């Protein structure tokens, strides 16, 4: 039997045609028609999802998109940036790239995303301790579950702090009628191999006016000034997506909606089938508004006192049956590399990390795979 992977990419079959076209027209360099085409495909898709004013800049990765957002906000040494603690390190690392200090804020139990009350507490306390407000807030839609954006946006506006929305895992998730990634001042997507769609590595920055999109392109292409020769007045980056990667992305846009639909089907099957397993519950997010997560990964929580098994034992059992599973992200405030960073915690992410496990959720997972996973757990 073939291994059941956590989140395997699946091609539409149309990717190769876009790549071939790039070869045939000699556009094998960075930039070219596929990059423009991919940006415009995402733009039309976001319009269809409910955001008509998104400006999309295709970049080398989701991480570089977060980095550029911080650069564009002119954040640097001596500044603090608030970041959701319960996330992948890529949300927080760019804060250090610009020389700023991350301040971690814990999650609320409903969505596992940044706790609005604790966020405000942190803002007030940083101001008291440093005399300055944090320069940005990075909120994450973890596992594709929308954060409580109405409250977070209200707090960010009230304190006039720019909001960066890390939607790396949340392409296709809808919050209060709006697509995730388009709600904050800046949003980012990731097209890494295990995300909703892949370009074999890539990302995008979402902004809300042409000036911002132009600025992102400027910084992403070595900050080259408009002169006939190479003139530089700012430090730039080599962060633009290549025309080949964008070709894969264009092919992937054909199956994005069906992949989102399949992940939702997977989630619903898990919810149904875990109902009669004592001590193990599927995480069913509760937000502060209507929302439709993309269910990038379905997560379960294991109460070992009832289930009679721990997270690690269960994971080992699945591995022995050729099923990939993975613990939830280890919170940033627990990471040795961020030991010195200020953190505002409430126990939510630590408990989820201790008990949680991500199950195979990708578009290639079948109904039969899920039956096999459930039977393995029940054994």
For 47, 203, 268, the CA distances from 33, given in Å and listed in that order, are 21, 17, 39
Could you say which of 190, 199, 348, 355 contacts ligand PLP (CB under 6 A)? 190
Q: Residue 18 CB, nearest distance to ligand PLP (Å)? A: 20
Q: Considering CB under 6 A, how many residues would be counted as binding ligand PLP?
A: 15
What is the closest distance, in whole angstroms, from the C-beta atom of residue 67 to ligand PLP in the complex? 9
- Complex with ligand PLP: residue 282 or 332, whichever CB lies closer: 332
Q: How far is the CB of 307 from ligand PLP (least distance, A)?
A: 27
Three-state SS string across 257-304, please?
HHHHHHHHHHHHHHHHHHCCCCCEEECCCCCCCCEECCCCCEEEEECH
Query: Given the rule CB under 6 A, which of 30-38, 56-64, 251-259, 277-285 is the region that contacts ligand PLP?
Result: 56-64
Of 34 and 198, CB closest to ligand PLP: 198
Residue 148 or 307: which CB sits closer to ligand PLP?
148
Q: How far is the CB of 200 from ligand PLP (least distance, A)?
A: 11
Buried b (16+ CB within 10 A) or exposed e, 199-230: bebbbbbbbbeeebbebbbbbbeebeeeeeee
The whole-angstrom separation of Cα 171 and Cα 182 is 10
| Alpha helices in 143-255, H assignment, sequence order | 149-158, 210-220, 243-253
Minimum separation from the CB atom of position 193 to ligand PLP (A): 9
Cα separation, 96 vs 91, whole angstroms: 11
Closest residue by Cα to residue 294 from 149, 132, 203, 181: 181
By CB under 6 A, is residue 61 in contact with ligand PLP? yes
Residue 64 or 370 having the CB closest to ligand PLP? 64
**Does 90 help bind ligand PLP (rule: CB under 6 A)?**
yes
Report the candidate in 144, 181, 147 with the shortest Cα–Cα distance to residue 164: 181
Which strands form 326-327's sheet, in the order they lie side by side? 280-282, 298-302, 356-359, 326-327
Tokens of residue 37, six digits: 């085409």
Which residue, 207 or 269, is less far from ligand PLP as judged by CB? 207
Angle made by CA atoms 144, 148, 150, in degrees to the nearest 5 = 125
> What does the buried/exposed string (b/e) look like for 280-314 if buried means 16 or more CB atoms within 10 Å of the residue's CB?
bbbbebebbeebebbbbbbbbbbebeebebebeeb
Whichever of 118 and 297 has its CB closer to ligand PLP, that residue is 297
Instruction: Find the shortest distance in angstroms from Cβ 377 to ligand PLP.
Output: 25
234 with 222: CB under 8 angstroms?
no
- Judged by CB under 6 A, does residue 288 bind ligand PLP? no
Which residue number, 91 or 145, has a Cβ lying nearer to ligand PLP? 91
Least Å distance, CB 191 to ligand PLP, is: 6
Binding segment (CB under 6 A) for ligand PLP, from list 83-91, 249-257, 298-306, 365-373: 83-91
57/190 with CB nearer ligand PLP: 190
Among 49, 57, 63, 207, binds ligand PLP (CB under 6 A): 63
Q: Rounded distance, CA 6 to CA 359, Å?
A: 6
- For ligand PLP, what does the binding mask look like between residues 339 and 358, x meaning CB under 6 A? --------------------
Which residues within the stretch 115-144 sit at the binding site for ligand PLP (CB under 6 A)? Answer: 140
The label of the residue with tokens 């910084």 reads 219
> Please, which of residues 141-170 interact with ligand PLP by CB under 6 A?
166, 168-169
Binding residues for ligand PLP, per CB under 6 A?
61-63, 87-88, 90-91, 140, 166, 168-169, 190, 192, 195, 203
């Amino acid at each position: 039997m073939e291994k059941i992977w956590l989140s395997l990419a699946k091609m539409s079959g149309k990717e190769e045609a876009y790549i071939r076209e790039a070869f045939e027209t000699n556009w094998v360099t960075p930039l070219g028609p596929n990059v423009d085409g991919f940006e415009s495909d995402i733009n039309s898709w976001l319009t269809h999802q409910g955001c008509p004013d998104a400006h999309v800049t295709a970049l080398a990765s989701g991480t570089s998109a977060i980095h550029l957002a911080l650069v564009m906000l002119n954040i640097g040494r001596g500044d603090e940036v608030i970041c959701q603690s319960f996330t992948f390190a890529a949300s927080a690392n760019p804060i250090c790239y610009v020389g700023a200090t991350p301040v971690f804020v814990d999650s609320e139990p409903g969505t596992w995303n940044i706790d609005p009350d604790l966020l405000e507490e942190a803002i007030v306390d940083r101001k008291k301790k440093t005399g300055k407000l944090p320069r940005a807030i990075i909120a994450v839609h973890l596992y594709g579950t929308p954060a409580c954006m109405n409250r977070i946006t209200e707090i960010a506006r009230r304190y006039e702090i720019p909001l960066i929305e890390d939607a790396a895992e949340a392409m296709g998730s809808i919050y209060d009628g709006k697509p995730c990634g388009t709600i904050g001042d800046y949003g980012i997507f990731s097209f890494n191999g295990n995300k909703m769609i892949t370009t074999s590595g890539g990302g995008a920055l979402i902004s809300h006016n042409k000036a911002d999109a132009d600025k992102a392109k400027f910084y992403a292409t070595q900050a080259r000034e408009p002169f006939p020769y190479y003139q530089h007045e700012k430090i730039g980056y080599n962060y633009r997506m290549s025309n080949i990667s964008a070709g894969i992305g264009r092919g992937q846009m054909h199956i994005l909606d069906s992949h989102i639909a399949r992940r939702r089907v997977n989630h619903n099957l898990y919810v149904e089938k875990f109902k009669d397993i004592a001590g193990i519950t599927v995480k069913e997010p509760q937000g502060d508004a209507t929302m439709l997560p993309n269910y990038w990964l379905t997560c379960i929580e294991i109460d070992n006192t009832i289930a009679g098994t721990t997270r690690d034992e269960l994971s080992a059992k699945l591995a022995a049956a050729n099923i990939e599973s993975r613990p939830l992200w280890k919170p940033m405030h627990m990471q040795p590399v961020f030991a010195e960073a200020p953190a505002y915690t409430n126990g939510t992410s630590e408990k989820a990390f201790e008990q949680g496990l991500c199950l195979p959720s990708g578009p290639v997972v079948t109904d039969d795979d899920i039956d096999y996973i459930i039977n393995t757990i029940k054994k």
